[in-house]
Structure 1
């Protein structure tokens, strides 16, 4: 796939490295010296990236990974310690800790609901908020010896913003066991839990598997993928009849739109659809 210049609409980042290759945006958590801790700067930049790409229909896939052989070691505990030394806000005033913590939930929601397909490559460690981050991917690929854990309660803190996303991903029973113990487990176990979708033997295999997955995503119509994702999320929270009505509207819009016409024509003419992309 030929590399193209990064969109001017993407934000300037210091904690992230951004590289656009055709319809794929590669986002790297780029603080290897901290093992890619989710400090306030990184969270704000991630939120800015999701806002920038949401409406870009030329972008079909977002790939997220960590620099330095580690995905993400989660929360910035040293930053928490500094916050603890701040003056307690006056009665009735909003605690800035509340705003900062809630901002991470806003980012997780935004990433979770992106119309693009989100692929995460996980190696080294995915701890605390890093594991929560894995839970908002469409497709997660992990090296078998990656270490996962929900570490918050070991620091005297609840697994606050990530809790709902972990439950959605692996179910209440497994989430309770992992959160109440902070137990570590490896990539193989993560695959068994459904936290990740594919488990590979080593980092080299991550990129091989990514190329295959990008080819699979490239066979799907991007508008149809976006509509399908919206239907899936609606099915979790809205009445079934309402979801079915919405799904029928999406189906009609796609069928009468350019993707539907092209997809049916390509099938009848026994040729690849025009939207198909291959990585090589």
Structure 2
């Protein structure tokens, strides 16, 4: 594990076993780092991701979070070793604690909610295996960049399991009819199809194109005011869950708050003076 240029919360970044993390110019880069398992999602990785996103929530100076996988794969799904360990445990616990399978599965769902609601813009780069849990992470990103030859899929039903925590996020990303097809057939597909379905936004033919696309996306993010972006993201997500009038009321409250903020003052002055606002410098 390596970290570079992280000025706050060093203890969080220094105690990672399944991830790599670095901070570069206001962007937190997180790499899923279990290459021998194609970065399969262990409970330890879930906990470490959850801790990083909880830390990022307290860091308004962070503009974006970039998630990718090590050694040419994003994430091959759930960790089989964790599953085997849980299978050896009894579902009935005398001390009233949860079934280990429930704990393992539900922890992943809570982490997906954290990623989806992060105040920062979350960018996911998918390469190689993007299956199960990796598919779920792609579906909660704000921006998804994929390699053309990445392999997406929901393999759970072929293993005798439902995509329990992933399903709601897949449906919201691509719609019910396509989610049913993919989940019930266990179909595999590439980055081009992922873009057609709305999972990915950019398809790249090479590592260089991925790097160039990421640079462009991050520069666009930095042109947007960070607090305004956080409010906008919350508003957009609320459109999926709340009644229209409630969403519009919240929007008006956020607009009034933003209009009186230092960000709006700086944005107006930058426009009048024909210069970049300070947050874009």
Report the TM-score, using the length of structure 2 for normalisation.
0.95
Contact 2:33 2:39 survives alignment (8 Å): yes
The Cα offsets for residues 94-147 of structure 1, whole Å up to 9 and x where unpaired, read as: 312112211100000000000100001111110011101100100000010100
Shift of 1:6: 4.3
Q: Aligned pairs, how many?
A: 275
The alignment partner of 1:20 has SS state of strand
Q: For 2:149 and 2:7, locate their aligned partners in 1 and report how far apart those are by CA, in whole Å.
A: 33
2:165 aligned partner: 161
Query: Alpha-carbon deviations, 1:175-223, whole Å to 9, x = none?
Result: 0000001000000000000000110112221111100000110100000
Q: 1:148 aligns to what?
A: 152
Report the Cα distance in structure 2 between the residues aligned to 1:266 and 1:52, rounded to whole angstroms.
31
Corresponding residue of 2:70: 67
2:249 pairs with 1:245: yes
Q: SS of the counterpart of 1:137?
A: coil
Partner of 1:4: 5
Structure 1 length-normalised TM: 0.95
Supply the distance in 2 between the matched residues of 1:58 and 1:18 (Cα, whole angstroms): 16
Contact 1:6 1:19 in 2 (8 A): no
* Match status 1:123 vs 2:127: yes
Which of 49, 52, 56 is equivalent to 1:49?
52
Q: From 207, 211, 215, give the equivalent of 2:211.
A: 207
The Cα shift of 1:87 comes to 2.6
CA distance in 2, matches of 1:115, 1:32: 29
1:39-90 Cα shifts (integer Å, max 9, x gaps): 1110100000010111211001000000001001011123212321223315
- Where does 1:1-280 land on structure 2 (aligned, <5 Å)? 4-9=5-10, 10-11=12-13, 12-90=15-93, 94-277=98-281
Query: The residue matched to 1:241 in structure 2 has which SS?
Result: helix
Q: State which drifts further: 94-103 or 215-224.
A: 94-103
Secondary structure of the corresponding residue to residue 71 of structure 1: coil
Alpha-carbon distance in structure 1 between the residues aligned to 2:85 and 2:47: 19
Q: Which runs of 5+ in 2 are unaligned?
A: none
Q: Which runs of 5+ in 1 are unaligned?
A: none
8 Å CA contact 2:266, 2:277 repeated in 1: yes
Aligned residue for 2:86, secondary structure, equals helix
Question: In structure 1, how many angstroms separate the alpha carbons of the residues matched to 2:7 and 2:124?
Answer: 20
The question of whether the paired residues in 2 share the 8 Å contact of 1:142 and 1:200 is answered with yes
Distance 1:45 1:170 in 2: 28
- 1:271: Cα distance to partner? 1.1
